[in-house]
């Protein structure tokens, strides 16, 4: 039995129909919703991470096969294994390029959020970041989310410039999942340097979507939150 086949068999055996129903509702898989067509087996994240450790040498070809699947857990575990391989790789550029070529398969918010900072953000930490601005202008919702969420790694390294510039580009985005992502990253900036976040807010809070603003100011004192919300 091939490694890929045994992995798929193991995941199918771990499927939980009750959890599947919960996840398919939670990740908005109905017709017209952002996760339309996504299929879940109903396996929780800690279990997936544990299984991923058993297949450290899965080939890039097999990882791509998993990424192309319409089964959510296959794509999730593929990204966990890709991150594990990236962390050990001598040539991280190849994995970075592989990731960018497969963004259309990184197509739900949890898939973006686990992987973008650890591959895209980490790789670009000491490099030019033009690609993030290209992704931020994409018609693909998930590429736009990758752009802003990747900056989590920069924020953790006290580097806020790209987060703020990308937030400005995405200020008028129409999608709620971008509003939440931008607001979240702004909040992370504020947790490191609240004055920097307040400078940004004072320039833009009146035009920010409500959800984005609420996420950004979540850690503020009540009086300050009320000030920004009373626009």
Domain-by-domain residue ranges, the chain?
A: 1-88, 126-231
CATH class of 126-231: mainly alpha
What's the distance, Cα to Cα, between the start and end of the chain in Å?
62
Which tokens hold the place of 136?
């931020």
Going by pLDDT thresholds of 50, 70 and 90, the confidence category of residue 57 is confident
What one-character DSSP code corresponds to residue 121? Answer: I
Q: What is the predicted pLDDT for the residue at 200?
A: 98
pLDDT at 41 over 90: yes
Q: What is the predicted pLDDT for the residue at 93?
A: 97
> Could you read off the pLDDT of 64-88 as tens digits, one per residue?
999 999 999 999 999 999 999 999 9
Region 128-133 average pLDDT: 98
213 near 183, Cβ under 8 Å? yes
CATH for 1-88 (3.20.20.140, 1.10.1130.10, 1.25.10.90, 3.30.70.2190): 1.25.10.90
Residue 62 half-sphere exposure toward CB, CA atoms < 13 A? 15
pLDDT at 231 over 80: no
Residues across the chain:
231
Q: What is the predicted pLDDT for the residue at 170?
A: 98
pTM of the predicted model, to two decimals? 0.95
What one-character DSSP code corresponds to residue 71? Answer: B
pLDDT at 121 over 70: yes
């Amino acid at each position: 039995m091939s490694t890929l086949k045994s992995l798929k068999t193991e995941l199918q055996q771990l499927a939980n129909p009750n959890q599947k129903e919960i996840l398919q509702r939670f990740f908005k898989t109905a017709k017209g919703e952002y996760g339309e067509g996504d299929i879940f087996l109903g396996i929780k994240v800690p279990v997936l991470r544990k299984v991923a450790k058993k297949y450290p040498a899965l080939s890039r070809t097999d990882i791509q096969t998993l990424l192309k699947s319409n089964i959510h857990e296959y794509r999730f575990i593929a990204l966990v294994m890709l991150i594990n391989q990236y962390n050990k790789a001598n040539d991280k550029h190849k994995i970075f390029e592989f990731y960018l070529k497969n963004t259309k398969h990184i197509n739900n918010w949890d898939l973006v959020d686990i992987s973008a900072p650890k591959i895209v953000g980490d790789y670009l930490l000491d490099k030019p970041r033009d690609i993030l601005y290209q992704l931020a202008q994409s018609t693909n919702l998930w590429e736009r989310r990758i752009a802003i969420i990747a900056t989590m790694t920069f924020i953790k390294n006290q580097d806020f410039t790209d987060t703020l510039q990308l937030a400005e580009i995405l200020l008028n985005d129409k999608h709620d999942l971008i509003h939440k992502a931008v607001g979240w990253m702004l909040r992370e900036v504020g947790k490191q340097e609240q004055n920097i976040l307040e400078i940004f807010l004072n320039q833009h809070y009146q035009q920010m979507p409500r959800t984005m603003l609420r996420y950004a100011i979540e850690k503020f004192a009540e009086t300050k939150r009320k000030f920004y919300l009373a626009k």
